[in-house]
């Protein structure tokens, strides 16, 4: 939804055979050679393009770079900045044999390509012939596509239009870039072209790193506005959204709720490297959402749940960088490659709790999900126990079933976490633990029937009741959370109600438990407690949800009328 931006994706697997015959020692592997095939891979009606490595930062308007095409002569087809190291001079160490190049050669991190002229000149035949000739005496490319581009330019120097050095300031280990930027008044593109990236050896690296972080921590939502005079027709979905937002009544006391429902947040799926779990029939992913103020709970959660997790984080751009540093500094978090973090960037007045849950839920790769909250610690044995229960109960052939994990809480910040049901019951009897929200919202978990759970040896069925909101294990294709519920309140209640409407059976597991840890209240729960308007808007959303449920499920939804008659409280 960025104005005037179109995205196209190309299947690299289809292009690989064109370069896979070239031996390459560069750390980018086969992909480092794919720039060579762009004239054939891109649409034939595309005449000229800017080609960028992903490790560059723009410190200027890219339109200025595009304007340099006007400096090309009739024979020039490639615009490049000179290489800012002595690599191609061949004097870095004894027996160093680089590929041929004009002087220091050119760096291909930033390229202006005249595709139309390259095609007319038979580019594919030219570069392939040059590469085959050089590979008769050289064992492999060391700098991937850059070696072949430079070998072609050495043979055909009239093809290249040299670009000012500020358009590709190269921060490699053996860089001479200082000769460029020390005399320049305006840097345009910074290129972290070392495998070490931000850890490169350069005496001015702190300056460039700060420039990079300033960019990363900027509010990315600004890119959605036409700040720089780039008039364009918005895509249909953006136009439709703008119309819906324009129709909202700003005098409506529930305007913030309506606005948040229509807010489309930027989402960065799989923010950190992730290793998908191996495919197993009974595997479960813990699904939860959090904001920056709950980040401290992640390490402990990882120690309690050894299985896969899918977590949605509601962060600003700056907080996303803080989160990255927290993970890198944590031995526990950095070791967990089976935790998928999905960043939903902050936008709108209220916490989009249902959207966050849905983002995390949609990325699950295992057959089952444990729908939890970040401030709950599962029993350390719960992951293995749940998988065993799914297998023993033959959930895959049983029909729609939700396994209920009984919820408890402690008011103590330090707790000797129970290792078994017997230990938990002892803490319950001693008053160290309570059934969850027993003091403020008992109806939320009362149908779990804790008295029966104390004695239970086998799973037992319970019936839905108004305001029931247990933590459950369900198949990953379960209904999604209703996005109208934002801020604090009723998102889980509505979800459980829809499970019941779809005739899910609720089975309470006799050895399962999770414990809620104390923490400072969120901004949204504080608003719920202090604002009558907030509570009345939540009541209105509940009424609308029930009407939609009735329209969808018909007479079967009549029993949910009782849910609307309950006094408002936490949920």
DSSP codes, 224-276:
GS-TTS---PPPHHHHHHHHHHHTS-TTSTTHHHHHHHH----EESS-S---P
Does residue 229 lie in a domain region? no
To the nearest whole number, what is the mean pLDDT of the chain? Answer: 90
Least confident of 18-22, 394-398, 427-431: 394-398
Host domain of residue 122: 12-220
Do residues 208 and 277 share a domain? no
Determine the Cα–Cα distance for residues 385 and 419; give it in Å rounded to an integer. 13
What pLDDT was estimated at residue 570? 45
Residue 512 has pLDDT above 60, yes or no: yes
Name the token pair of 314. 């509601």
What pLDDT was estimated at residue 232? 67
Do residues 284 and 191 share a domain? no
What is the total count of domains within the chain? 2
Name the token pair of 224. 């959605």
What pLDDT was estimated at residue 256? 87
Do residues 298 and 392 share a domain? yes
pTM over 0.95: no
Pick the more confident residue, 41 or 260: 41
Do residues 382 and 477 share a domain? yes
Pick the more confident residue, 349 or 1: 349
Cβ contacts of residue 495 below 8 Å, gap of 6+?
Answer: 371, 469, 479, 481, 482
Do residues 181 and 272 share a domain? no
What pLDDT was estimated at residue 560? 76
Domain end among 220, 255, 286: 220
Do residues 22 and 132 share a domain? yes
Contact (CB, 8 A) for 339 and 360: no
Do residues 304 and 189 share a domain? no
Residue of 308, 456, 460, 448 lying closest to 393 (CA atoms): 460
Do residues 205 and 301 share a domain? no
Does residue 233 lie in a domain region? no
Do residues 320 and 394 share a domain? yes
Determine the Cα–Cα distance for residues 149 and 516; give it in Å rounded to an integer. 60
Does residue 234 lie in a domain region? no
Do residues 210 and 306 share a domain? no
Domain end among 220, 253, 276: 220
- E strand or H helix that includes residue 377: strand 376-378
Does residue 415 lie in a domain region? yes
Residue 52 has pLDDT above 60, yes or no: yes
What pLDDT was estimated at residue 17? 96
Task: Provide the 3-class DSSP secondary structure of residue 40.
Answer: helix
Share of residues in the chain with pLDDT > 70 (%): 93
Does residue 182 lie in a domain region? yes
CATH code of the domain containing 212: 3.90.550.10
Share of residues in the chain with pLDDT > 90 (%): 65
What's the farthest any 2 CA atoms get from each other in the chain? 88
Does residue 262 lie in a domain region? no
Residue 151 has pLDDT above 70, yes or no: yes
What pLDDT was estimated at residue 522? 64
Q: How confident is the model at residue 101 (pLDDT cuts 50, 70, 90)?
A: very high
Q: How confident is the model at residue 140 (pLDDT cuts 50, 70, 90)?
A: very high
Residue 568 has pLDDT above 50, yes or no: no
Contact (CB, 8 A) for 76 and 114: yes
**R_g over Cα of the chain:** 30
Find tokens 């604090």 and name the residue: 488
Segments in 330-394 forming alpha helices (H): 331-335, 353-362, 382-392
Do residues 321 and 457 share a domain? yes
Phi, psi of 425 (to 5 degrees): -65, -35
Does residue 231 lie in a domain region? no
Pick the more confident residue, 378 or 486: 378
What pLDDT was estimated at residue 163? 97
Q: How confident is the model at residue 569 (pLDDT cuts 50, 70, 90)?
A: very low
Q: How confident is the model at residue 220 (pLDDT cuts 50, 70, 90)?
A: confident
Does residue 393 lie in a domain region? yes
Average pLDDT, integer, range 153-166:
96
Average pLDDT, integer, range 63-89:
95
Q: How confident is the model at residue 571 (pLDDT cuts 50, 70, 90)?
A: very low
What pLDDT was estimated at residue 346? 93
Pick the more confident residue, 515 or 558: 515
Residue 561 has pLDDT above 80, yes or no: no
Determine the Cα–Cα distance for residues 569 and 261; give it in Å rounded to an integer. 22
Average pLDDT, integer, range 129-156:
97
């Amino acid at each position: 939804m960025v104005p005037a931006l179109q995205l196209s994706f190309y299947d690299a697997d289809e292009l690989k055979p064109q370069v896979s015959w070239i031996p390459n020692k560069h750390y980018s592997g086969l992909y480092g050679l794919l720039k060579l095939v762009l004239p054939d891979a891109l649409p034939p009606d595309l005449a000229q393009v800017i080609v960028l490595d992903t490790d560059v930062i723009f410190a200027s308007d890219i339109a200025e770079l595009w304007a340099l095409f006007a400096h090309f002569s009739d024979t020039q087809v490639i615009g490049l900045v000179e290489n800012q190291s002595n690599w191609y001079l061949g004097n870095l160490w004894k027996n160093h044999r680089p590929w041929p190049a004009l002087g220091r050669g050119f760096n291909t991190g930033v390229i202006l390509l005249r595709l139309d002229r390259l095609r007319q000149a038979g580019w594919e035949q030219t570069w392939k012939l040059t590469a085959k000739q050089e590979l008769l005496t050289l064992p492999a490319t060391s700098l991937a596509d850059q070696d072949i581009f430079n070998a072609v330019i050495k043979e055909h120097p009239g093809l290249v239009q040299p670009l000012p050095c500020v358009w590709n300031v190269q921060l490699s280990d053996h860089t001479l870039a200082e000769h460029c930027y020390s005399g320049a008044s305006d840097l345009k593109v910074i290129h972290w072209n070392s495998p070490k990236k931000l850890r490169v050896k350069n005496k001015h690296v702190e300056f460039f790193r700060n420039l990079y972080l300033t960019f990363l921590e900027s509010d990315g939502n600004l890119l959605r506005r036409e700040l720089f005079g780039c008039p364009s027709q918005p895509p249909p979905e953006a136009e439709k959204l703008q119309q819906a937002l324009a129709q909202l009544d700003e005098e409506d006391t529930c305007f913030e709720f309506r606005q948040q429902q229509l807010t489309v947040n930027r989402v960065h799926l799989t923010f950190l490297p992730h290793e998908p779990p191996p495919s197993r029939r009974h595997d479960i992913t813990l699904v939860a959402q959090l904001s920056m103020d709950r980040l401290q709970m992640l390490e402990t959660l990882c120690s309690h749940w050894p299985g896969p997790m899918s977590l949605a984080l509601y962060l600003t751009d700056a907080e996303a960088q803080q989160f990255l540093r927290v993970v890198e500094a944590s031995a526990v978090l950095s070791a967990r490659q089976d935790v998928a973090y999905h960043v939903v960037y902050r936008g709108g007045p209220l916490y989009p709790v249902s959207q966050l849950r849905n983002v995390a839920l949609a990325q699950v790769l295992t057959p089952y999900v444990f729908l939890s909250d970040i401030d709950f610690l599962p029993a350390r044995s719960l992951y293995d126990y749940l998988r065993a229960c799914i297998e023993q109960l033959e959930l895959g052939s049983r029909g729609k079933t939700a396994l209920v994990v009984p919820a408890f809480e402690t008011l103590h910040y330090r707790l000797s976490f129970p290792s078994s049901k017997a230990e938990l019951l002892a803490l319950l009897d001693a008053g160290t633990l309570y059934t969850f929200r027993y003091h403020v919202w008992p109806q939320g978990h009362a149908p779990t029937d804790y008295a029966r759970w104390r004695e239970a040896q086998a799973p037992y069925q319970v019936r839905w009741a108004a305001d029931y909101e247990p933590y459950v294990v369900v198949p990953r294709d379960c209904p999604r959370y209703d996005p109208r519920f934002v801020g604090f309140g009723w998102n889980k209640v509505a979800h459980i109600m829809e499970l019941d409407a779809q005739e899910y059976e609720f089975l309470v597991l006799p050895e399962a438990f999770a414990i809620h840890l104390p923490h400072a209240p969120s901004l949204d729960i504080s608003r719920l407690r202090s604002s009558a308007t907030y509570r009345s808007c939540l009541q209105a959303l509940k009424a609308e949800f029930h009407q939609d449920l009735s329209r969808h499920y018909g007479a079967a939804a009549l029993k949910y009328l009782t849910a609307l008659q309950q006094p408002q409280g936490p949920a």
